[in-house]
Structure 1
Amino acid sequence: MYGPERQQEILRLAREDGRVDVLSLAETFQVTAETVRRDLKVLDRAGLLRRVHGGAIPVGRLDFEPDLAEREATAADEKDAIARAALAELPAGGSVILDAGTTVARLAALFPLDVDPAAELTVVTHALPVAARLADHPGIALHLVGGRVRHRTRAAVDAWALRAYGEVAADVAFVATNGFSPDGGLTTPDLAEAAVKRATIAAARRVVLLADSGKFGQRHFARFGDLSDVDLLITDTGLSPEDAREIERRGPAVIRA
């Protein structure tokens, strides 16, 4: 069996079983443990597996992006906790950008209705699910950014969206990501989506990243920023204290909700 064939089979086993270990793989393929470690290193560099002690676990694929319904159902409790914690980061009045993402949409659903009219919040978003949740909110001046709408995320992308964000200077941007890590930065599968996310970061004075711990260590095709671009990461307790400290060494404060 050639190396690429073996690596494809290792990836299949990891996705089926949730993890693989070096010694079992060496026995299965009748190769040395060092050969297996090289295979895992190749898959890790491609962002398909994440190496852990003694083996590897699967992470997001470079060629796969789950649809909106699947993402809504993933880590639902963790996303709810993150959204509740993010409420404290809303400014009293002022302006915010809400990125496309299921956790950000949960935050939008929690916006309080009993808002002082003098503290009206201006919200800018390119995400249709977010806009739909806030369209009738009495305390919000909603601005919907246009562009080509991606079916998979219901988010506007391309030149119209980028031009609109180039004219915005918001107080806070609440940003979502498909993957984040100290070395890999912030990544998402689609280049057009990444460009808009990059624009939202540039359009705000403060950036709050909302990401559940399952996205830690994942790397996708399109990189749109570094952890140093983020002021605050709100995640869940699935992120270990050690990993949280490593992230904080890269710049952002971390809240584990």
Structure 2
Amino acid sequence: MNDRTRDARISLILTLLSQRGELQVRFLPSILGVSGATVRRDVAVMEDKGLIRRSYGKIAAARRGAELPVSLRRSQNTEAKRRIGALASSLIPSRPLTMALSGGSTVGFVARSLAGRPDLTVVTNGLDTATMLMARQVVKVVVTGGTASPLSNDLVGRTAEKSLRSFQFDFAVVGADGVSPEAGFTRHSARGAEIDRIMLEQAEHKIIVADSSKFGKVHHAKIADAGSIQTLVTDSHANAEIVASLRKFGVTTTLVVIPSAVKTNRIRFT
């Protein structure tokens, strides 16, 4: 099987571990619909990446709530992210603009939708974001420079920060790992959050994109307070109370419709 299929399986295993705490390896072939040999290879890859701990036929997450590699995040809530990306890109006016895009799996779908816009100059610290923008060779892409973060494929650090502060942006679009009215928008990575803060500070129009799985989560690195963001684009499975609270803070919160059939699967055990 190809790496994308493997990444999807690993993402599902990590989701199950977040629900159950630990799993018996012998049950995974039937859950995933693959052979025992495939499961053993997947588990070996997860252990090699430091995602799990393995003992006596069981596996458990190495660190609860830890940031996943971006290659795995791409396989989570893909339809929601695709629709969020398409809607967020439609908010960018059709005229010459300079904008900032962060890295991350959801922003990657924004980049994919913007790739055909010859009127845009996009500054990004995201290596994957830059690759998607350059696919059609029409967007002018500026990459910040900086130190590469292996989990997110982003460039961070003082070089990236200095580069971003030299621009003024018409729009900035960044992702978030946590969305909370009280705690605001947060990320796992402090260095990544600092980059996102600068992008937003340098922009006239500030947009956050985050699928509904991020709602109610709070991580230690703050990107922005809820009331400082003009627009949030998420999906229709977002917690209604949180959406209402964000709107009270003045955040224009737009929900793309996701049919229940493609909502993130949560496997129940009896």
TM-score range, shorter chain: 0.7 to 0.9
Compared CA separation, residues 137 and 247, structure 1 to 2 (3 A)? same
Residue of structure 2 in register with 1:30 after alignment: none
2:215–2:239 CA contact under 8 A, matched in 1: no
Letter in 1 for 2:19: R
Q: Does 1:76 align with 2:78?
A: yes
Q: Does 1:197 align with 2:196?
A: yes
Q: Secondary structure at the match of 2:98?
A: strand
How far is 1:61 from its partner? 4.4
Compared CA separation, residues 240 and 188, structure 1 to 2 (3 A)? closer
Q: Secondary structure at the match of 1:152?
A: coil
Alignment of 1:72-111 (within 5 A): 72-92=74-94, 93-111=96-114
How far is 1:241 from its partner? 3.6
Can you give the 5+ residue segments of structure 2 that lack an aligned partner in the other structure?
1-15, 23-62, 257-270
Q: Secondary structure at the match of 1:183?
A: coil
Residue of structure 1 in register with 2:20 after alignment: 16
Q: Secondary structure at the match of 1:255?
A: strand
2:18–2:64 CA contact under 8 A, matched in 1: no
Instruction: Give the distance between the partners of 1:251 and 1:94, measured in 2 at CA.
Output: 25
**What's the CA shift string for 1:18-75, capped at 9, x where partnerless?**
9xxxxxxxxxxxxxxxxxxxxxxxxxxxxxxxxxxxxxxxxx945x111112110111
Residue of structure 2 in register with 1:172 after alignment: 171
Residue of structure 1 in register with 2:157 after alignment: 158
Task: Report the identity percentage.
Answer: 25
Letter in 1 for 2:252: A
Residue of structure 2 in register with 1:186 after alignment: 185
Runs of 4+ residues deviating >6 angstroms: none
Compared CA separation, residues 14 and 74, structure 1 to 2 (3 A)? closer
2:207–2:230 CA contact under 8 A, matched in 1: yes
Letter in 1 for 2:104: G
Compared CA separation, residues 218 and 135, structure 1 to 2 (3 A)? same
Q: Secondary structure at the match of 2:82?
A: helix
Q: Secondary structure at the match of 1:73?
A: coil
Q: Secondary structure at the match of 2:200?
A: helix
Larger radius of gyration: 1
Instruction: Give the distance between the partners of 1:250 and 1:224, measured in 2 at CA.
Output: 16
Instruction: Give the distance between the partners of 1:87 and 1:134, measured in 2 at CA.
Output: 12
How far is 1:14 from its partner? 6.9
Instruction: Give the distance between the partners of 1:190 and 1:74, measured in 2 at CA.
Output: 19
Alignment of 1:39-78 (within 5 A): 61=64, 64-78=66-80
Q: Secondary structure at the match of 2:223?
A: strand
1:237–1:256 CA contact under 8 A, matched in 2: yes
Compared CA separation, residues 126 and 242, structure 1 to 2 (3 A)? same
Letter in 2 for 1:238: H
Residue of structure 2 in register with 1:45 after alignment: none
1:178–1:215 CA contact under 8 A, matched in 2: yes
Compared CA separation, residues 13 and 229, structure 1 to 2 (3 A)? same
**What's the CA shift string for 1:126-174, capped at 9, x where partnerless?**
0000111122534311111110010000000000011011111110001
Can you give the 5+ residue segments of structure 1 that lack an aligned partner in the other structure?
1-11, 19-59
Residue of structure 1 in register with 2:254 after alignment: 255
- Number of corresponding residues: 200
